[in-house]
Structure 1
Amino acid sequence: MDGPNVTEAFGDLKSSRALVVVHGGPGPAHYYLISLADLASGPNAILVIFYGQIGCGGSSHLRDKPVEFWTPTLFMDELDNLLNHYGISDNFDLYGHSWGGIIGAQFVGTCQPKGLRRLVIANSPASLPLWEKSCNELLDGMPEDVQQILREHEEAGTMDDKEYKDATGLYMAKHFIRVPLSDGMLKTLAAMAKDPTVTHATLGQKQFKIEGSLKTYSVISGLHKIAVPTLLLNGRYDEASDACIMPFFERIPKVRWYQFAESSHMPHLEERDLVMKIVGEFLHVHD
C-alpha cells in the first residue's frame, strides 16, 4: 500500500507506550470507538491511536476492487504499516474490537510482533461461524413476529425493506447497543451506509447469515501462539457470546476475561467508565 490508513491519535507521541485501537467490521469506520480516547487523559495517560482501516471512514475508498482484494492479510499489512509510520513497533499495546479483535489475534499469532506488550480482545468471536451461530441463537430469543420478519426478508433478499430495518433495530437495541446512539456511532453508521463495499465483500448483506468471503474465517488454530498477556471482554447480552469468546480463553496461555453485566456489543459506550477502569488497570500492570 502507499501508506498507512491513519485517522486519529490522542496523547503524546513521546509516551512510553502507545495503544493502537483496531475497529470492528470489516467496513465500519472507527468513530464509534472514540470514547477510548479517555485513556489518553488522567494520571496514567497513554497515547491512543485509532487505526482507520482501508475502505472506510477517512481512509482510502476502493470501490472497484474485487472481493479477493479484501483479505485478512491486507488488514494485517496495513496495521504493520501504521506501527512503522508512527515508529512504535518496538513498544505498543493493541486493542481490537469485534472484527478488530479477530484480526488483532491473527496479527499477533502470525507475526509475533516483538514490541507488543499487551493485547485486548473486546467483543470478538474467535471465528465467523461461531458469530453466525451466536446471532441466530439470540434471534431465537426475540419475539416470534420479529424472528419471522427477519428470517423471511433475509430469505427473500429484501433487506432494504422498512419492515426488515425496523425489526433489525429491535434486535440491535438488545444485543448490539443498549444505550442511545452516540455521535460517533451515528457517524460510523452513516459512513458504512455511504460505502458498504468492504462489508458486502467480506460478510455479505444479511445480519444472520454470512455470505461474504470471510464466512468460514477462524483464528482458533493459531491462538496458542499468542504469548503476551491478553484481556478478553464481552457483554452479558453480547452478540459475541460466551461461546464466541471461549476459544480465546481456552487457548491463549496468559489470559483473563471480564464480562460487563449491563452491556451488549458496545461496553465502551454502555459502561464507559468501567471499561476505562478495567482496560486502564490491565495496561498498567507490570509484567
Structure 2
Amino acid sequence: MDIVTPSPHRLDRREFVSVGALAALLAAAPARAAAAPSGAAAQDGVRWITLDNGHKVWTQRVGSGKTKVLLLHGGPGFSHDYLQCFADYLPQAGYELYFYDQLGCGLSDRPEDTSLWTLPRYLDELEQVRTALGLETFVLYGHSWGGILGTEYALRHPERLSGLVISNMSASIADYVSYIAKLRSSLPEAARKELDRLEAAGQSESEAYTAIVERELYPRYILRLDPHPEPVLKAFTAVNPVIYRQMAGPNEFVFSGNLEGWDRWADLPRIQTPTLVMGARYDEMDPASMKRQAEMLPHGSLFISEKGSHLSMWDDQRAYFQALLKFLGTIRA
C-alpha cells in the first residue's frame, strides 16, 4: 500500500503537472471555488442522457484530456453541486472532468417511483451513463454514497476503469454505524442527553432529533467551515429526502435504509484497479477503516486529511487536491 501525502518535491513528468503548475492551481483555485457558481448555470459541455426507463439525467463535461474522470456525488439524494470545486483543479491539470446528477437528484429528472431508489438500479444507471458518454476507459471518483457505487462498479466492470477513487466511505455500513455511534458519544453532554430522551420516547426519526444531529455533528465531522461555501449550501438545499430516507435513513445516527446490509470488505482484494482511498481525521467515517481499506486493495493508496472532515475537498482543499492530482498522475489514459 502506498501513502499519498502532499509533497514539496518535483513530480515526475508523467504525472502531467509540474510543481509550479500545481502550486499555481492550489494557490489560485480556492479563492475561485469559494464563490464558484453551480455548473448548471454554464451550459457548455452539458448533455442530457435518456436512460432505458425513459427518465433523463444531467451531465456536464469540463475541460479535455486523455484521462477522463467521472464524479459520483454522495447522499444518496444529493447533487453534483458540492463537487464544483473539482472544476478549479482537474481541467487545468489536463484532465477531462464529468459532473453527473444521479436520477432523482439535482438537475436530473425526479420521478416519484420509489422502486427506483436501490443500489442495483443505480449501478445499471451508471453503466448507461458511461456508455452514452463514450467513456471506454476512465477514472471513477466516488464520494460518500458515491464510494459505495464506485466500489460496486469496480467489481462489476473492472475492464472499464483505469483508476478508482473512494473518498470518505468505508467498505461496509456496519463499520460506519459503529463509528458514528462513537462520534455520538463524543458530543456535548447536553446534546447526548436530549438525544437519549428522544430515543426513549421513540422519536429518533423526529425533526427535533435530526436538528440536534445537524447542529452538533455537522460542524465537527461533516464540514468544518463557517460559513459554508455556496455550492455546498446548494447541494444541501437540493437534497431529495425521499431517496435519502429510503436508502440511508432519517439522519446520520439512524441508519435504516435499504443499504443497511451493504458490506464489501471480503471483496476488496478482487479489485485490481489502482485505487486511492481518501479519508479525514474529522470524518464521520473511521480513518482507521480507510487505512484498512487501502491495505486490502491490491493496488491501494491512502490519503488522510489531518484537518479535514467528510467534505475535506472544501475544508482541507489544498492537501486534498494535491493528493488527488498526484494519484491521477500515475494513471495512464
Tell me if both proteins adopt one fold, taking TM over 0.5 as the criterion. Answer: yes
Correspondence for 2:137: 91
Please show how residues 177-196 of structure 1 align to structure 2 within 5 Å.
Answer: 177-180=223-226, 181-192=228-239, 195-196=240-241
Structure 1 SS opposite 2:324: helix
Question: Quick check: 1:56 aligned with 2:105?
Answer: yes
Following the alignment from structure 2 to structure 1, what is the Cα–Cα distance between the partners of residues 119 and 205? 29
Following the alignment from structure 1 to structure 2, what is the Cα–Cα distance between the partners of residues 52 and 264? 23
Question: Quick check: 1:41 aligned with 2:91?
Answer: yes
Question: Aligned-pair distance for 1:109?
Answer: 1.3
What is the letter of the counterpart of residue 163 of structure 2? R
Normalized against structure 2, the TM-score is what?
0.78
Q: Deviations over 1:194-216 (max 9, x none)?
A: x3111111112132121111111
Following the alignment from structure 1 to structure 2, what is the Cα–Cα distance between the partners of residues 236 and 198? 28
What is the letter of the counterpart of residue 130 of structure 2? L
Query: Does the CA-based 8 Å contact 2:61-2:99 persist in structure 1?
Result: yes
Following the alignment from structure 1 to structure 2, what is the Cα–Cα distance between the partners of residues 123 and 187? 20
Pick one of 121, 124, 129 that aligns with 2:166. 121
Query: Does the CA-based 8 Å contact 1:204-1:210 persist in structure 2?
Result: yes
Please show how residues 213-252 of structure 1 align to structure 2 within 5 Å.
Answer: 213-252=258-297
Q: Deviations over 1:72-125 (max 9, x none)?
A: 11111111111111111x22111110111111011101222x231111111011
Correspondence for 1:160: 207
Correspondence for 1:11: 63
What runs of 5+ residues in structure 1 fail to find an aligned partner? none
Correspondence for 1:79: 126
Task: Note closer, same or farther for the CA distance 1:286–1:58 as it changes in structure 2 (3 Å cut).
Answer: closer
Structure 2 SS opposite 1:260: strand
Pick one of 165, 175, 181 that aligns with 2:221. 175
Normalized against structure 1, the TM-score is what?
0.90
Question: Aligned-pair distance for 1:129?
Answer: 1.2
What runs of 5+ residues in structure 2 fail to find an aligned partner? 1-51
Instruction: Name the larger-Rg structure.
Output: 2
Query: Does the CA-based 8 Å contact 1:106-1:222 persist in structure 2?
Result: no
Following the alignment from structure 1 to structure 2, what is the Cα–Cα distance between the partners of residues 167 and 121? 25
**How large is the Cα RMSD of the aligned pairs?**
1.9
